[in-house]
Amino acid sequence: MIDTDVLVIGAGPTGLFSVHQLGIIGLKSEVVDNLDKIGGQCIELYPDKPIYDIPAIPECTGEELTKNLIEQIKPFKTNFHLSDRVEEVKKERSKWLVKTSKGKEFKVSSIIIAGGVGSFEPRKFQLKEIEKFEGKEIFYSVKDKNIFKNKTISIFGGGDSALDWAIELSTNSKIYLIHRRDEFRGAQASVDKVKELSKQGKIEILTQYQLNSIEGDSKIKSINIKHDNGNIKKIETNYILGFFGLIMKLGPIVNWGLNLDKKHIPVNTENFETNQKGIFAIGDICIYPGKLKLILSGFHEGALAARGCFKYARPDEKLRFEFTTTSKNVQSRLGIKKK
């Protein structure tokens, strides 16, 4: 059981900045995110695209913004629990007990939900027999590429992830790149590279095919793929990788006793608390009159929610307003040495 002041759900830009705002007022936090990396939409949806409306930063990419936010919270040595999803939230006396899909448990005085548009989940194959192989020989992301060494891998998809992994894994594995359309959607340089590797016999490209069935009991033996013209082709394969993009689901948040307005959580604008005392919601997931789904709004919401968390974590203390420029307390929390 991890006992801390605040659990932040979501490692997108607003969750990250709320960690900073909690840290400078002396509160400890842990962060859980469903994705395998930090950064939310900025990293998952537009890492290379420039953002032009972050105050005082004329231009930065989604990845640069994320890197800077991570740098800014370094002094707080925050633990991130990635590839894990908050499933259950329940009240026990004055504390909130939280459970994740990997079985981690947290005991906290407040929760900040910075869940964006909900948890991103991979779009999956629509075959019944998929389930028994999922997580063993069928994957929607690559966590450890070493398991694919000297194996045969069937990669499905036509976007950047499918192309990039086909290129990367072709160095020491046999690769089939299978796409339901004739054209690939990924970056032209990757499409060209895949075609070149296909000429060298390192990747076999099969277009206008979809997965039709899987053969094998405890392990995958082979797959049958079906062409648009109805023809079936059998391929012996060890692993299947599917890269069909992500879907966004509000997920378990709907079960936590929170008021919901369509897919958003209504909050007050004084401290962004929800209808549940001690649970706050910030960023894209919250809703209030005049809400703008922008990163800069999420930063402001995180600052006020952090102060809202203080009274639950330190009920006997009064929070003093302090500037980072002049407060010795804040500067020592940030590890700033006297000049």
Ligand X SMILES: Cc1cc2nc3c(=O)[nH]c(=O)nc-3n(C[C@H](O)[C@H](O)[C@H](O)COP(=O)(O)OP(=O)(O)OC[C@H]3O[C@@H](n4cnc5c(N)ncnc54)[C@H](O)[C@@H]3O)c2cc1C
The residues that touch ligand X, with contacts defined as CB under 6 A, are 9-15, 32-35, 40-42, 45-46, 51, 53, 85-86, 114-120, 251-253, 283-284, 293-296, 298
Least separation, in Å, of the C-beta of 282 and ligand X?
7
Least separation, in Å, of the C-beta of 191 and ligand X?
22
Least separation, in Å, of the C-beta of 285 and ligand X?
6
Question: Residue 118 or residue 158: which is nearer to ligand X going by CB?
Answer: 118
Question: Residue 176 or residue 272: which is nearer to ligand X going by CB?
Answer: 272
Question: Residue 114 or residue 162: which is nearer to ligand X going by CB?
Answer: 114
Least separation, in Å, of the C-beta of 299 and ligand X?
9
Question: Residue 35 or residue 309: which is nearer to ligand X going by CB?
Answer: 35
**Inter-helix orientation angle 13-24/295-313, to 10°:** 40
Question: Residue 119 or residue 173: which is nearer to ligand X going by CB?
Answer: 119
Least separation, in Å, of the C-beta of 47 and ligand X?
10
